Chains A and B, each alone.
Chain A
Amino acid sequence: MHQPPPASCSRSSRCECARVGVRVSALAPSQRPAPLPAGSPAPLPPEPASRGTSALLPVRLGPWCSPTGSPAPLSCETGCGEGSWILVCRLLVPTQVNLLSMEEDIDTRKINNSFLRDHSYATEADIISTVEFNHTGELLATGDKGGRVVIFQREQESKNQVHRRGEYNVYSTFQSHEPEFDYLKSLEIEEKINKIRWLPQQNAAYFLLSTNDKTVKLWKVSERDKRPEGYNLKDEEGRLRDPATITTLRVPVLRPMDLMVEATPRRVFANAHTYHINSISVNSDYETYMSADDLRINLWNFEITNQSFNIVDIKPANMEELTEVITAAEFHPHHCNTFVYSSSKGTIRLCDMRASALCDRHTKFFEEPEDPSNRSFFSEIISSISDVKFSHSGRYIMTRDYLTVKVWDLNMENRPIETYQVHDYLRSKLCSLYENDCIFDKFECVWNGSDSVIMTGSYNNFFRMFDRNTKRDVTLEASRENSKPRAILKPRKVCVGGKRRKDEISVDSLDFSKKILHTAWHPSENIIAVAATNNLYIFQDKVN
């Protein structure tokens, strides 16, 4: 009988990392094997029932998302823009899982079935607040409002199970930040993880930075698959032996054990930010990183936690004169002296740390003049930049404001080279969106590995991709209702006015509580991770 793996990591049954329940639900597999075109690998037999599932069950026993049956049909291309995207898996991280059931090896099918379908078990702490692939794309980290970090690892490819390519399983879970109370100001510091950034891998262990509003932490995630046995002074249970009873000496040997993944905090960078940290960025020298809050940006050395350098300070001497805040910041991918930061007024400043110790004077200033025909009371709010990202090449920066995504050439400051409308149909709704505060939502944006496609989220669990070369774009939806594993995502369309066609959705029917703020793109492949509230969707492009 298939033993359900324990809560937090993928392989060990004696794992000691944070015991937070993790469940993954796979959606209903298609039963009928699809015809394959000639030349593709031979169809694989359906998963044997001995894995603990019945092929007829609507929800497969978890926790690993793995579709059953043969690969998806390589048939119609319904997508426009970036080809077709298929759902690989949908991952859920509920806080309350009946761990007892797992340890007692109770049939978890029933629990999975009813448990995950019932949304009341997913609490606000499960809302994903950041998503980030590491530099190879092997690992995918998510942070949530409850201060937890969950790391997923890509399933290893094997000859037998080619169709499992692109799936991610839980690798490690740990509590990164706890809620704190600032007694002086008498307020609580949220444990929500605002950002996660990976360090490039330099040895067997993985390192990442995670931050909440006030404190940045460096975590080390390492594997242990051997343990020493044969101590002289300790017996196998760890009890000390009386030296007098030892007659022979032996050399302890390392014996293999079940893989254990452990996360340990290696550095804590605290007490350097008065305002809320919105960004962290690892420098290309891999020795320093920066953290940015509303008014200041600090430069840290990874080795030094009790000191940081302030490199940008836009706090006015008289707070009455405050009219602008920093909204995002990032280091250049190759030039360790260059970084950019964006503001609530829709401007981007590029700074060179060689110019002066305090980079209050920018080297370059990017701003697009306001379009007079679109002027309204909300012009400034919708121009506020919520995210800024360098392209992988380092030649361009992309910014996201409320209605558009813009691509700027670093050599041209007076206007962006490309502007993409994300959801222009909201322009006439700005009043309502101001009233319900949706206009203040902060959407992120990402580049693909080759900088040819950009992606960002929208409302109603929609997300958009723009191909910079072909100028085509597509709207896709991350939702449970209309996604089966390996099913091809259908492009969505919002109808603005007039006649609504069959598959379109009207602007008034959009659900503004379902917003896709966080997405991530694999560094070299067409695999994307989309966070929708407490769900993490992983899509990949159709296997050709």
Chain B
Amino acid sequence: MLSKGLKRKREEEEEEEEEKEALEVDAWWLDPGHPAVTQAPPNVASSSLFDLSVLKLHHSLRQSEPDLRHLVLVVNTLRRIQASMAPTVTLPPVPSPPLVPSVADNLLASSDTILSASMASLLEDLSQIEGLSQAPQPLADESPPGRPIGGAPPSLGALDLLGPATGCLLDDGLEGLFEDIDTSMYDSELWVPASEGLKPGPEDGPGKEGAPELDEAELDYLMDVLVGTQALERPPEQGR
């Protein structure tokens, strides 16, 4: 499906495999023979790109120390795709039942808020972590020239990194420390409400036709993966 000669970047995680499988079905837009993505039927191409971007975002956020540049670029791209997907009034050239636009709308509506909420919470966590590990910085616009940052003496070893932060730790108390190591950071809140809104139940699955089936199948597959990981923390849901 991928144009030959393009080497996939080597990654150890399983997501790579999932990405591959999830996209393999409708990866026709990667075919070099086709025109640029923007010229392809927008709905289908955008939604695939959307899914890909969400996966990338998810993957990036899951890392212990995300690459901020990568994260920001993926998020901005995701916003662009969302913005372009918003007007779904016109039916795409590819024949699809009327359920697709509403499904897409649901997805967009719920995921938009979910996305920003999730992004917000995750970035807040990032800034919280920063607040604990660094001596508190004075606010901007102070008159003394420059803003000296209190740093520890040259690090003698990894343990010294705890030095400047100790003060902050004790101030917040141990509760503050555990607050930061909140496992909700790893919860896939991104998908849970969306899946509840969209998940028709297994018996409805085969009933769809054509392109929407791909979307449904993709979503179901992704949900499977995510629910599977959450099964560790929550009692198994009924009906799945």
Complex interface: chain A residues within 8 A of B68 (CB): 275-276, 294-295, 322, 325
Interface residues on A, range: 35 or more
Q: List 9 A-B contacts (CB under 8 A).
A: A185-B129, A215-B155, A275-B68, A307-B148, A309-B145, A311-B146, A324-B72, A325-B69, A440-B70
Q: B52 to A435, Cβ gap below 8 A? A: yes
Complex interface: chain A residues within 8 A of B127 (CB): 319
Q: Mark B1-44, 1 if CB is under 8 A from A, else 0.
A: 01111111110000000010001000001101001111000000
* Bound complex: CA A319 to CA B158 (Å): 27
Q: Kindly list the 10 A-B residue pairs having the minimum CB-CB distance in the complex, ordered from nearest.
A: A309-B146, A319-B123, A268-B154, A508-B5, A271-B151, A187-B64, A294-B68, A320-B120, A270-B155, A513-B7
Q: B153 to A306, Cβ gap below 8 A? A: yes
Q: A429 to B32, Cβ gap below 8 A? A: yes
Binds A, one of B93-101, B132-140, B205-213, B219-227: B132-140
Any B CB within 8 A of the CB of A108: no
- From B2, B120, B146, B158, A310 is in contact (CB under 8 Å) with B146
- From B76, B84, B161, A182 is in contact (CB under 8 Å) with B161
Q: B64 to A508, Cβ gap below 8 A? A: no
Any A CB within 8 A of the CB of B149: yes
Any A CB within 8 A of the CB of B103: no
Complex interface: chain B residues within 8 A of A325 (CB): 68-69, 72
| New contact pairs (6) apart from A378-B77, A431-B49, A508-B6, CB-CB < 8 Å | A323-B75, A376-B37, A377-B37, A429-B32, A508-B3, A512-B5
Complex interface: chain B residues within 8 A of A508 (CB): 3-6, 32
Complex interface: chain B residues within 8 A of A309 (CB): 145-149
Complex interface: chain B residues within 8 A of A130 (CB): none
Any B CB within 8 A of the CB of A437: yes
Any B CB within 8 A of the CB of A259: no
Complex interface: chain B residues within 8 A of A434 (CB): 49, 52, 77
Any B CB within 8 A of the CB of A7: no
* Bound complex: CA A454 to CA B114 (Å): 46
Nearest to B145 among chain A residues (CB) is A357
Q: A431 to B69, Cβ gap below 8 A? A: no
Instruction: Give the Cβ gap from B175 to chain A, nearest Cβ, in Å.
Output: 16
Instruction: Give the Cβ gap from B129 to chain A, nearest Cβ, in Å.
Output: 6
Any B CB within 8 A of the CB of A308: yes
* Bound complex: CA A115 to CA B127 (Å): 48
- From A276, A376, A377, A436, B8 is in contact (CB under 8 Å) with A436
B58-108 residues with Cβ-Cβ distance < 8 A to A are 64-65, 67-70, 72-73, 75-77, 80-81, 84
Any A CB within 8 A of the CB of B159: yes
* Bound complex: CA A187 to CA B165 (Å): 15
Q: A376 to B36, Cβ gap below 8 A? A: yes
Q: Mark A143-155, 1 if CB is under 8 A from B, else 0.
A: 0000000000000
Q: B149 to A310, Cβ gap below 8 A? A: yes
Q: Mark A349-376, 1 if CB is under 8 A from B, else 0.
A: 0000000011010000000000000011
Any A CB within 8 A of the CB of B164: yes
Complex interface: chain B residues within 8 A of A384 (CB): 69, 73
Any A CB within 8 A of the CB of B124: yes
Residues of B within 8 A of A (CB): 2-10, 19, 23, 29-30, 32, 35-38, 49, 52, 64-65, 67-70, 72-73, 75-77, 80-81, 84, 116, 119-120, 123-124, 126-127, 129-130, 132-134, 137, 140-142, 144-155, 158-159, 161-165
Q: A513 to B9, Cβ gap below 8 A? A: yes
* Bound complex: CA A268 to CA B75 (Å): 35
Q: A344 to B73, Cβ gap below 8 A? A: yes
Q: A376 to B38, Cβ gap below 8 A? A: yes
Q: A358 to B80, Cβ gap below 8 A? A: no
Q: A185 to B65, Cβ gap below 8 A? A: yes
Nearest to A512 among chain B residues (CB) is B7
Instruction: Give the Cβ gap from B17 to chain A, nearest Cβ, in Å.
Output: 14
Decide: A322 near B65, CB < 8 A? Known: A432-B2, A432-B6: no
Any B CB within 8 A of the CB of A82: no
Q: B30 to A308, Cβ gap below 8 A? A: no
- From A298, A306, A432, A513, B3 is in contact (CB under 8 Å) with A432
Instruction: Give the Cβ gap from A398 to chain B, nearest Cβ, in Å.
Output: 20
A451-471 residues with Cβ-Cβ distance < 8 A to B are none
Q: B80 to A360, Cβ gap below 8 A? A: no
Q: A344 to B72, Cβ gap below 8 A? A: yes
Q: B32 to A436, Cβ gap below 8 A? A: no
Instruction: Give the Cβ gap from B198 to chain A, nearest Cβ, in Å.
Output: 23
Complex interface: chain B residues within 8 A of A510 (CB): 5-6
- From B3, B49, B129, B161, A429 is in contact (CB under 8 Å) with B3
* Bound complex: CA A358 to CA B84 (Å): 38
* Bound complex: CA A380 to CA B32 (Å): 22
Nearest to B52 among chain A residues (CB) is A435
Instruction: Give the Cβ gap from B165 to chain A, nearest Cβ, in Å.
Output: 6
Any B CB within 8 A of the CB of A438: yes
Q: Mark A479-510, 1 if CB is under 8 A from B, else 0.
A: 00000000000000000000000000011111
Complex interface: chain B residues within 8 A of A344 (CB): 69, 72-73
Q: B6 to A323, Cβ gap below 8 A? A: no
* Bound complex: CA A274 to CA B149 (Å): 12
Complex interface: chain A residues within 8 A of B35 (CB): 428
Decide: A276 near B72, CB < 8 A? Known: A182-B133, A319-B123, A431-B29: no
Decide: A436 near B7, CB < 8 A? Known: A322-B123, A358-B141: yes
Any B CB within 8 A of the CB of A66: no
Nearest to B155 among chain A residues (CB) is A270
Complex interface: chain A residues within 8 A of B29 (CB): 431
Q: A381 to B73, Cβ gap below 8 A? A: yes
Any B CB within 8 A of the CB of A180: yes
Any B CB within 8 A of the CB of A286: no
* Bound complex: CA A440 to CA B73 (Å): 9
Any B CB within 8 A of the CB of A327: yes
Nearest to B144 among chain A residues (CB) is A357
Q: B164 to A271, Cβ gap below 8 A? A: yes
Q: B32 to A428, Cβ gap below 8 A? A: yes
- From A183, A322, A437, B158 is in contact (CB under 8 Å) with A183
Complex interface: chain A residues within 8 A of B144 (CB): 357
Q: A320 to B124, Cβ gap below 8 A? A: yes
Any B CB within 8 A of the CB of A299: yes
Any B CB within 8 A of the CB of A305: yes
* Bound complex: CA A221 to CA B132 (Å): 37
Any B CB within 8 A of the CB of A258: no
Complex interface: chain A residues within 8 A of B141 (CB): 358
Nearest to A278 among chain B residues (CB) is B69
* Bound complex: CA A344 to CA B150 (Å): 29
Q: A183 to B126, Cβ gap below 8 A? A: no
Decide: A509 near B5, CB < 8 A? Known: A323-B76, A358-B141: yes
Complex interface: chain B residues within 8 A of A215 (CB): 155
* Bound complex: CA A322 to CA B8 (Å): 29
